[in-house]
Amino acid sequence: MNDRDTLALQWDRNSASWSDSMQQGHDQVNEQFGIPFFLDQLGPVSGLEVLDAGCGEGRSSRHIAAKGARVTGVDLSPEMVAHAVRKEIEKPLGIGYAVSSCDDLGEYSAERFDMVTSFMALMDTPNLASVLKEFSRVLKIGGKLMIAVRHPCFFTPGFSVYKNGRDERAGLTISNYFIRKPYVERWKFPQQQGLFTVTRYPYTMMDYAEAILSSSLRFTSLTEPRPTEEMCLRLPNLRFWRLHAALYLFIQAEKV
């Protein structure tokens, strides 16, 4: 079984629990912080043709479509796409979905899209350089690429949170940043019963930069957002990230 097949199978197995968690609003960190920031960074998208790559069960695609974009969502997991299609049928937003790996978007012609987005997916892909080349190929000249990933400097294979004597989160332990070997992570939302199983590909900042620069793309922005005080009042878990480290790395690039 190759890396693509392994990832597809993992997300197929995760899909029912993931879809339910999204519907139940379990992922409050992304809902309260990551997604609002990401949508703000997109700017006006009404009428644009947008490819949402690594769309999962369609959460990010729905948010972008709600801003007026014509969205196509792709994901390598058939089961995740099936959940996305079901939710589109229940509440139509005009989104089209397809099962496709981000490193092989051959069903889409060159310069098809005004914008390519990817929210929290690329740290789970085994072929980053090939993915960026495909994103560049399907983008129109002047089109925008908008990426959000877990911050590679902090979410390393040796990442852990340590606590103080009062059992409160007090800081981070980071190690093995330069070890690019894939690893399996098992985790869950606090309200969830079972665990998700995900293979992570621990790319470095340089890996992302080189993949973009070698794909006829130029950087336009690199952002490490910090939760606001207002966000921390709404969701106290965010205060840890306001104090200690960046949760996300947001990358913007343009097809030249």
First to last CA, the chain: 37
Which amino acid appears at position 57 of this protein? E
Using CA of residue 13, residue 17, residue 117, residue 127, what is the dihedral sign?
A: negative
pLDDT at 2: 87
Closest CA to 72 of 139, 149, 9, 10: 139
Domains of the chain: 3-151+203-255 (3.40.50.150)
pLDDT at 193: 83
pLDDT at 95: 98
Quote the CA–CA distance of 67 and 45 in Å, as a whole number: 6
Quote the CA–CA distance of 256 and 249 in Å, as a whole number: 22
pLDDT at 165: 81
| Residue 53: how many other CB atoms lie within 10 Å | 29
From first to last of its 256 residues, the chain has per-residue pLDDT tens of 788 899 999 999 999 999 999 999 999 999 999 999 999 999 999 999 999 999 999 999 999 999 999 999 999 999 999 999 999 999 999 999 999 999 999 999 999 999 999 999 999 999 999 999 999 999 999 999 999 999 999 999 999 998 888 878 899 999 999 999 999 999 999 888 889 999 999 999 999 999 999 999 999 999 999 999 999 999 999 999 999 999 999 999 999 9
Residues 6+ apart with CB under 8 A from 106: none
pLDDT at 63: 98
Partners of residue 249 on adjacent β-strands: 149
pLDDT at 11: 96
Q: What angle do CA 106, 11, 63 make, to 5 degrees?
A: 75
User: What is the edge-to-edge ordering of all strands in the sheet holding 49-53?
Assistant: 96-99, 70-75, 49-53, 113-119, 139-150, 248-255, 217-223
Closest CA to 59 of 126, 143, 117: 117
pLDDT at 168: 85
